[in-house]
Structure 1
Amino acid sequence: MTLTPMFIQNIGLPGILLIAVVVLVLFGRGKISSLMGEVGKGITSFKKGVNEGKEELEAAAMEDAKDVTPEKDKS
């Protein structure tokens, strides 16, 4: 049993094209273009935040690491 409604399963290529044309007519090319630009900036910002968070966690782990080298082996 699928969780998608029946109308989504039966759209097909002509239906998708019709929806795309209607959205283009309603919002215009400029509005859609700026919206996609904002989505791209959001994705880039999200990835940058994830990478910065990962770097912070790694730095915190390195600070918490203890040196367990025996005293006689330290130089």
Structure 2
Amino acid sequence: MTNLKVHSPAPADLEGGLTSLRGDCARMAPHWTAPERVTPAPVPLSLIHGVTVPPASARLLDAMSDYGD
């Protein structure tokens, strides 16, 4: 038979407030590292093409109400 009980080192405080949440975050922060900031290279204009929408999707979108109707 398998024991399905899971023991957590810091039980979740479901009734806690902002102070409890900040404490939880402070305990988790050392376990996570932020990735190095990577600046994406611009996409060459030659690779940018128009968008193709299947006819069924175009009809569906055309039948949708616009904002303010």
TM-score, normalisation: structure 1: 0.28
The two structures have a TM-score, normalised by structure 2, of 0.30
Structure 1 or 2: larger helix share? 1
